[in-house]
Structure 1
Amino acid sequence: MRQLLRTPAGLAGTILVALMVILAIAGPPIWGAGAERIDSSAILQGASAAHPLGTDNLGRDILSRVLVAGRLSLTLALLATIIGAAAGTVLGALPSVLPRAAARLLTGAVNALVAFPGLLLAMFTAVIAGLGARGAVLGIGAAVVPGFARLTQTLAASVTRADYVSAARMLGVSRWRVMTRHIIPNIAEPLILNVTQALGAALLGLAGMSFLGLGVQPPSFDWGRLLFDGFSRIYTTPAVALGPAVAVALAGIGFNLLGDTLANAASRRSAPGGKAVRPPVPDAGGLGEPDPDAALEVRDLTVSFPGGVTPVRGLSLTIAPGEIVGLVGESGSGKSLTASAIGGLVPYPGEVSVGRLRLCGADLGELSAPERRKLLGTSLAMVFQDPMASLNPALRVGGQLAEVATVHQGASRAEAWTRALDRLGHVRIPEPGKRARQHPHELSGGMRQRVVIAMGLMGAPRLIIADEPTTALDVTVQRQILRLLREVTDETGAATLFISHDIAVVGELCHRVVVMYAGRVVEELPVEELATGAAHPYTRALVASLPDMETDRSLPLASIPGRQPSPADVTEGCAFAARCALATARCAERPPLAEYGKAHRVACWEA
Structure 2
Amino acid sequence: MSARRSKWTTMLRTPVGATTAVLLFVTFAVAVVGPLIWGEAAAKVDTDAISQGPSFAHLSGTDDLGRDILYRVLVAARLSLLLTLGATAIGVGIGIVLGAAPSVLPRRAGRLVTAVVNIAVAFPSLLLALFFAVIFGVDTTGAMLAIGLAIAPSFARLVHTLSASVAGRDFVAAARVAGVSRPRLLVRHVLPNIGEPLMINATIAAGGSLLAFAGLSFLGIGVQVPDYDWGRLLGEGLNQIYSNPAAALAPGVALIVACLAFNLFGEVAAATVGNRTPIRRVGAGPRPETRSETPEPQAGTTVLAVENLRVAFPNAAGWTTPVRGLSFTVRAGESVGVVGESGSGKSLTALAVSRLIETPGVVTADRLEFDGNSLLEVSDRELRSLLGTSLAMVFQDPMSSFNPTLRMGRQLAEVSEQHQGLSRRAALARAVDRLRAVRIPAPARRARQYPHEFSGGMRQRAMIAMGLMGDPRLVIADEPTTALDVTMQREVLRLLARMRADEQAAILLISHDIAVVSQACDRILVMYAGRIVEDLPTKALLAGPRHPYTRALMGAVPNLATDRDEPLVVIPGRPPEAGAVPAGCAFAPRCALADDRCHAEDPALVTLGNSDRVACWHPVIDAPRAEIVDRPSTVRGIA
Fold conserved between structures, TM > 0.5: yes
Q: Does 1:590 align with 2:602?
A: yes
Q: 1:557 aligns with which of 562, 568, 572?
A: 568
Where in structure 2 are the equivalents of 1:123-142 lying within 5 Å?
123-126=128-131
Report what 2:582 is aligned to: 571
Q: 1:314 aligns with which of 325, 331, 349?
A: 325
SS in 1 for 2:376: helix
Q: 1:293 aligns with which of 296, 301, 304?
A: 301
Q: Does 1:145 align with 2:144?
A: no
Report what 1:405 is aligned to: 416
Report what 1:546 is aligned to: 557
Return the letter of the residue paired with 2:546: A
Q: 1:384 aligns with which of 395, 402, 409?
A: 395
Where in structure 2 are the equivalents of 1:440-519 lying within 5 Å?
440-519=451-530
Q: Does the aligned pair in 2 maintain the 1:125–1:139 contact within 8 Å?
A: no
Where in structure 2 are the equivalents of 1:98-177 lying within 5 Å?
110-113=92-95, 122-126=127-131, 145-151=154-160, 153-154=162-163
Q: Does 1:372 align with 2:383?
A: yes
Return the letter of the residue paired with 1:401: L
Q: Does the aligned pair in 2 maintain the 1:383–1:469 contact within 8 Å?
A: yes
Q: How far apart are 1:124 and its partner, in Å?
A: 3.1
Cα deviations across residues 548-599 of structure 1 (Å, max 9, x unaligned)?
Answer: 1111111111111111100011134100000000001111201111111222
Return the letter of the residue paired with 1:515: V
Q: 1:460 to 1:156 in 2, by over 3 A?
A: farther
Q: Does 1:305 align with 2:313?
A: yes
Q: 1:127 to 1:545 in 2, by over 3 A?
A: closer
Where in structure 2 are the equivalents of 1:35-54 lying within 5 Å?
none
Report what 1:79 is aligned to: none
SS in 1 for 2:302: coil
User: What fraction of aligned residue pairs are identical, expressed as a percent?
Assistant: 52
SS in 1 for 2:500: helix
Return the letter of the residue paired with 1:604: C
Q: Does the aligned pair in 2 maintain the 1:427–1:484 contact within 8 Å?
A: yes
Return the letter of the residue paired with 2:301: D
Q: Does the aligned pair in 1 maintain the 2:524–2:537 contact within 8 Å?
A: yes
Distance 1:554 1:475 in 2: 25
Distance 1:108 1:502 in 2: 55
Q: How far apart are 1:468 and its partner, in Å?
A: 0.3
Pick 1 or 2: higher relative contact order, CA cutoff 8 A, min separation 6.
1
Q: 1:113 to 1:502 in 2, by over 3 A?
A: closer
Report what 1:281 is aligned to: 280
SS in 2 for 1:407: helix
Distance 2:295 2:558 in 1: 41
Return the letter of the residue paired with 1:336: S
Q: 1:406 to 1:141 in 2, by over 3 A?
A: farther
Report what 1:338 is aligned to: 349
Q: Does the aligned pair in 2 maintain the 1:283–1:356 contact within 8 Å?
A: no
Return the letter of the residue paired with 1:145: S
Distance 1:347 1:493 in 2: 31
Where in structure 2 are the equivalents of 1:218-229 lying within 5 Å?
none
Q: Does the aligned pair in 1 maintain the 2:91–2:152 contact within 8 Å?
A: no
Structure 1: which 5+ runs fail to align? 1-104, 130-137, 160-213, 215-273
Q: 1:284 to 1:456 in 2, by over 3 A?
A: farther
Distance 1:414 1:585 in 2: 67
SS in 1 for 2:337: strand
Cα deviations across residues 327-354 of structure 1 (Å, max 9, x unaligned)?
Answer: 0000000000000100111132111011
Further displaced range: 583-592 or 511-520: 583-592
SS in 2 for 1:406: helix
Q: Does the aligned pair in 2 maintain the 1:125–1:142 contact within 8 Å?
A: no
Structure 2 length-normalised TM = 0.56
SS in 2 for 1:522: strand
Q: How far apart are 1:406 and its partner, in Å?
A: 1.1
Q: How far apart are 1:275 and its partner, in Å?
A: 7.2
Report what 1:438 is aligned to: 449
Q: Does the aligned pair in 1 maintain the 2:396–2:481 contact within 8 Å?
A: yes
Q: 1:283 to 1:151 in 2, by over 3 A?
A: closer
Q: 1:155 to 1:487 in 2, by over 3 A?
A: farther
Cα deviations across residues 159-194 of structure 1 (Å, max 9, x unaligned)?
Answer: 9xxxxxxxxxxxxxxxxxxxxxxxxxxxxxxxxxxx
Q: How far apart are 1:378 and its partner, in Å?
A: 1.1
Q: Does the aligned pair in 2 maintain the 1:513–1:525 contact within 8 Å?
A: yes
